[in-house]
Amino acid sequence: MNMIGGCDLRDIANRFGTPLYLYDAARIERNCHALRDAFNAHYPATDIFYAVKANGNPHLLRLIASCGTGADCAAPLEVTLAERAGIPREKIMYTGNYESRDDLAAAARCGAVNLDDITAIGKLPAGFDGILSFRINPGEGGGSHPGIVTGGPDAKFGIPIESAPAAYRLAVDRGFTRFGIHLMAGSNNRDPLFFARMAAILCHSAADIFRPLGILPEYFDIGGGFGIPYAEDETPLDLDAMARAVAATLALCASQHGVTPPRLRIEPGRFIVGDAGYLLARVTAVKKGLRRFVGLDAGMNTLIRPALYGSHHRVTVVGKETPAGMATLCGRICENTDIFAADIPFPAVTEGDIVLFHDAGAYCASMAFPYNGRLRPAEVLCDNGKPFRIARAENEAEFMERYEA
Ligand SMILES: Cc1ncc(COP(=O)(O)O)c(C=O)c1O
């Protein structure tokens, strides 16, 4: 692969340097529309809130918002990012965990807040007039790695379903009048039926929770988690089958409980930006040790997912396709976990060759950190053959400035 979004990768690497995050604007728009179209076809009463944590670059946020999505935020700064992207209050939602009072002061600027615990209710600023919701732990979860399963007995998120009636009772007693209900049970799920299962749990739980209180929730929120293939042999999530199954589940559940199907909220992050982003790096050294090590100017500081979850990213070399033996790809960070891929078939490369990590749009730039004095790279958006720098690389002066007391 030598081109992305109409931009030539060699030109981009020469002009902007490496390591570099690169995004394909058309692909982001296509992903937004694909998800929108799938729900329009089966459950048009669906509102999409992009999970800012996946990639909070303000330029990408504006692009995503221009497709009609709202924003789901997990920290005060993410709320500010969403506001600055021009997203209106009713389309900004807050889903944090173990929120402080300051967190909830920012959350109250949003149209809806999904609280992580019953104790959070007392920390919400007085006068919050948005929609109040609790995140429930559905008792099970799913995700491509144990580290991204966020429901079930080992999850730190949300409240048990059994505690939800008391939480909403307290909210009613405190005078809240607008309610939603939320879950988010895991990330990177490609099984279409996973989402229907979560919708069923949420819908049946909601009936038990809300009927005795005589209130109707304004939304059911099944979170994000819409997966993408990271490996060659993985199949994409069948969006049509997923949306159809969710719609059928909600229709059946609503009719069983004699209520009209509610509005649905979803919070996709990875699905919108994951496969639209790349990490461009250059080979710095090839070492023939006990293995063939290919060292890069990127590292776990720019792409933490392999070290964090053992996750896999496809990797190609610009202009070199044919493998010439096995190689272990690593960065320059002084950690032995700074390995992108171990013993993979890899072309013969030399210093300066350009290596491309695929599917690096989500949870890569947003998780970057400056360990070992390796500062965060620049970001470039390719739009119809035109590259736009949408973040400059951090520099030493900026870094040192923080320490000037
Ligand atoms: C509350 C919440 N919503 C949405 C998301 C986005 O998940 P994904 O990127 O898998 O769609 C996350 C991710 O962890 C999350 O915690």
CA of 97 to the centre of ligand 1 (A): 12
pLDDT at 353: 98
Q: Does the pTM of the predicted model rise above 0.85?
A: yes
Q: Which of 32, 67, 203, 334 is catalytic?
A: 334
In the chain, the percentage of residues whose pLDDT exceeds 70 is: 100
pLDDT at 405: 77
Residue nearest to atom 4 of ligand 1 (CA): 224
| pLDDT computed for residue 289 by the predictor | 85
Residues 261 and 125 in one domain: yes
pLDDT attached to residue 285: 98
Does any ligand 1 atom lie closer than 6 A to the CB of residue 387?
no
**pLDDT tens profile 157-174:** 999 999 999 999 999 999
CATH of the domain at 139: 3.20.20.10
Q: Does residue 201 share a domain with residue 100?
A: yes
Query: From ligand 1's centre to the CA of 160, what distance in Å?
Result: 19
What would the pLDDT profile of 298-347 be if each residue is shown by its tens digit?
Answer: 999 999 999 999 999 999 999 999 999 999 999 999 999 999 999 999 99
Q: Does one domain contain both 294 and 222?
A: no
Give Cβ neighbours of residue 187 (< 8 Å, ≥ 6 apart).
143, 144, 148, 150, 224, 225, 227, 269, 270
Peptide bond into 19 cis (omega under 30): yes
Q: What's the confidence (pLDDT) of residue 225?
A: 98
Tell me how far the alpha carbon of residue 346 lies from the centroid of ligand 1, in angstroms.
Answer: 33
Q: Are residues 87 and 18 in the same domain?
A: no
- Domain final residue pick, 213, 238, 270: 270
Co-location of 236 and 308 in the same domain: no
pLDDT of residue 114: 98
Q: What is the pLDDT of residues 275-310, one digit of tens each?
A: 999 999 999 999 998 899 999 999 999 999 999 999
Is-contact 122 104, C-beta < 8 A? no
* Residue closest to 48 by CA, chosen among 239, 269, 198: 269
Residues 45, 130: one domain? yes
Question: 137: number of CA atoms within 13 Å, CB side?
Answer: 20
Q: What does the pLDDT read at residue 366?
A: 98
For residue 105, the SS3 value is helix
Give the span between the Cα atoms of 328 and 308, in whole angstroms. Answer: 17
* Share above pLDDT 90 across residues of the chain, in percent, rounded to a whole number: 97
What mean pLDDT do residues 54-62 have? 98
Pocket flag, ligand 1, residue 268 (CB < 6 Å)? yes
Banded pLDDT at 20 (limits 50, 70, 90): very high
Cα angle 191-185-68, degrees, rounded to a multiple of 5: 80
Q: What is the mean pLDDT of residues 248-255?
A: 96
CATH of the domain at 349: 2.40.37.10
**Average pLDDT score, the chain:** 97
Please state the atom number of ligand 1 nearest to the C-alpha of residue 182.
1
Residue 132 · residue 185 · CB < 8 Å: no
For the Cβ of 184 lying below 6 angstroms from any atom of ligand 1, the answer is yes
- 226 within 8 A of 272, measured Cβ to Cβ: no
Q: Which of 157, 164, 72 is nearest to 113 (CA)?
A: 72
Beta bridge partners of 95: 114
**What residue has token string 């992108």?**
340
Residues 317 and 200 in one domain: no
Same domain, 252 and 266: yes
Q: Which DSSP symbol is given to 366?
A: G
- Does residue 325 share a domain with residue 209? no
Residue after which a domain boundary falls, among 214, 246, 270: 270
Task: Report pLDDT for 1.
Answer: 80
DSSP state for residue 319 in the 8-state scheme: T
Query: 183: Cβ below 6 Å to ligand 1?
Result: no
Q: Which domain holds residue 352?
A: 3-22+274-401
> 270 CB under 6 A from ligand 1?
yes
Residues 334 and 202 in one domain: no
- Indicate whether 66 and 13 sit together in one domain: no
Task: Give the domain-ending residue among 242, 270, 298.
Answer: 270
Looking at residue 13, its pLDDT comes to 98
Q: What integer is the mean pLDDT of 53-58?
A: 98
* 127-147 residue pLDDT tens: 999 999 999 999 999 999 999
**Structural domains of the chain, count:** 2
How many Cβ atoms sit within 10 Å of the Cβ of residue 338?
23
Same-domain status, 95 and 47 = yes
Phi and psi at 41, nearest 5°, equal -70, -30
Q: Is 364 marked active-site?
A: no
